Amino acid sequence: MNQRIPITEITGGFRGRAEVALADSQLRTNFRTAMDSLMKKRADAFPDEEEREGLRELGNHIKARALSRLPDLLEQLEAKLTANGVQVHWAETTEEANQIVHSIIEARQGKLVVKGKSMVSEEMEMNDYLTERGIESLESDMGEYIVQLDNEKPSHIIMPAIHKNRFQVSKLFHDKLGVEETSDVDELIQIGRRTLRKKFLEADVGVSGVNFAIAETGTLLLVENEGNGRMSTTAPGVHIAVTGIEKVVENLRDVVPLLS
């Protein structure tokens, strides 16, 4: 018999954590600074609000059209991927998806996995699943690497370490990697890259997410800005791409406005 958990306990726990976070002035400053920077970059890239909203509407139309044809597109995508030499696996549950990933790694006697950015694998708690089975699963996105190093969860979908400032990252690298502290952001990035570069070369398997899966061509498209996505998909001998079915679009033409 399943035990019912009172809603008040869940709500109280969340509210308690929220109150602690809101009372942390440094945390609030970190978020405010990062979000101001992010919104400025967005405004600089799309100064014309009407154009921006037009692209948003076009993107909604493209995704709605793909969802209306999803069963057919999934079959087309599988056929094209298979023709391109990709082995396709289907999973209905998180447990099944993790089992498939683990079985692929285990079949190759893999012990080290490097991961490009993948929110699906984060939702699957893949790192924990693999770690429990004796496999090291290392995040290679710099933000994801930082929060993993500090045993935390991402705090933002595209800026996982948005809650940390450069001084906190510097101390973390000093404590965990044994390097000298520095407040220079570029130097901090180089420290992380030097550490990760060794792991790319040692990894048995690379795991990535998928930004768009194009049914017409059997193309898996990744967006990155650090080079870690390319490294994690090409340096190891095996690449596992993990995605949900909502990433499927009809053709390459549809990708352009969605990327915008």
User: What is the helix (H) or strand (E) element at residue 230, kind and residue range?
Assistant: helix 228-234
Among 214, 199, 176, residue whose Cα is nearest residue 78: 214
What pLDDT is recorded for position 78? 98
pTM of the model: 0.85
What pLDDT is recorded for position 2? 37
- Token readout for 131 is 């770690």
Summarize pLDDT for 112-148 with one digit per residue, the tens: 999 988 889 999 999 999 999 999 999 999 999 999 9
Distances (CA, A) of 224 to 29, 117, 230: 27, 8, 8
Residues with Cβ within 8 Å of residue 198, at least 6 apart in sequence: none
Q: Are strands 205-208 and 136-139 parallel, antiparallel or unpaired?
A: unpaired
What pLDDT is recorded for position 181? 95
- Chain mean pLDDT for the chain: 90
What pLDDT is recorded for position 21? 84
Please tell me the distance from the alpha carbon of residue 41 to that of residue 249, in angstroms, as a whole number: 27
Helices (H) and strands (E) in the chain, counts: 12, 7
Sheet with strand 112-115: strands edge to edge:
136-139, 112-115, 205-208, 238-241
User: What is the helix (H) or strand (E) element at residue 139, kind and residue range?
Assistant: strand 136-139
The helix/strand/coil state of 153 is coil
What pLDDT is recorded for position 12? 53
Summarize pLDDT for 202-226 with one digit per residue, the tens: 999 999 999 999 999 999 999 988 8
Residue given tokens 């070369």 in the structure block: 201
What pLDDT is recorded for position 132? 97
What pLDDT is recorded for position 49? 87
Q: Are 257 and 59 in contact (CB under 8 A)?
A: yes
* Domain extent listing, the chain: 46-259
- According to DSSP H, which parts of 5-149 are helical? 7-22, 25-45, 49-68, 70-83, 94-107, 119-124, 126-131, 142-149
Ranges under pLDDT 50 in the chain: 1-11
